[in-house]
Amino acid sequence: MPDAPPSASPSPGAARYGVGYKLLRIFADVRKTRDDREKGLAGAEEEAKVQEQPLRTGGGFRLIFRSRYLLLIAVMIGLYNFVNATGEFIMTEVTVKRSIAAAAPGRPPTSTRTPSISIRRPQVAPSG
């Protein structure tokens, strides 16, 4: 089977399956380690201790920066929070400025309602 040319990029679905495959492998490895420990196989106890140890200080950041998938997720969450906070700030500023302008002394109250379309029943002339 010929290899794909270097310029060919995987489809977007391939990345999704790659993450699912990695998660499945992690689950299978953890389960295999537990099964080996229960059977009493050599080295299973030491391997289980290594897997169950908590991360050292800064280990979470190291873990994220080692995996491009976790890094991409972290960047997307950061970007989402930035856009959300910026949008909320803009909406608050606009609302406060319009409220102050509407409540200015000496200015007649104006309607702040947005124009809407109303649907009316057609009037029918009385028969007869």
Alpha-carbon distance of 59 to 11, in angstroms, equals 32
Greater model confidence, 58 or 78: 78
- If one counts the domains in the chain, the total is 2
63 and 98, same domain (yes or no): yes
**Residue closest to 18 by CA, chosen among 85, 79, 70:** 70
**Res 5 pLDDT > 90:** no
In a domain? residue 86: yes
- pLDDT at position 1: 44
Alpha-carbon distance of 59 to 65, in angstroms, equals 10
In a domain? residue 117: no
Point out the least confidently predicted range of 1-5, 68-72, 74-78, 121-125: 1-5
In a domain? residue 120: no
Amino acid identity at 115? P
**Res 14 pLDDT > 50:** yes
In a domain? residue 42: yes
State both tokens at 89: 């700030």
- pLDDT tens for residues 17-57? 677 778 778 877 777 767 766 666 666 666 666 666 676 77
Amino acid identity at 6? P
In a domain? residue 6: no
Alpha-carbon distance of 89 to 74, in angstroms, equals 23
- What CA–CA distances, in Å, run from 50 to 9, 44, 46, 55? 36, 10, 6, 10
- pLDDT at position 41: 61
44 and 20, same domain (yes or no): yes
49 and 61, same domain (yes or no): no
State both tokens at 25: 């492998």
- pLDDT tens for residues 67-110? 899 999 999 999 999 999 999 999 999 999 888 888 877 765 55
47 and 61, same domain (yes or no): no
Query: Structural domain of residue 85, as residue ranges?
Result: 57-103
- Measured in whole angstroms, the distance separating CA 55 from the mean position of its chain's CA atoms is 24
In a domain? residue 96: yes
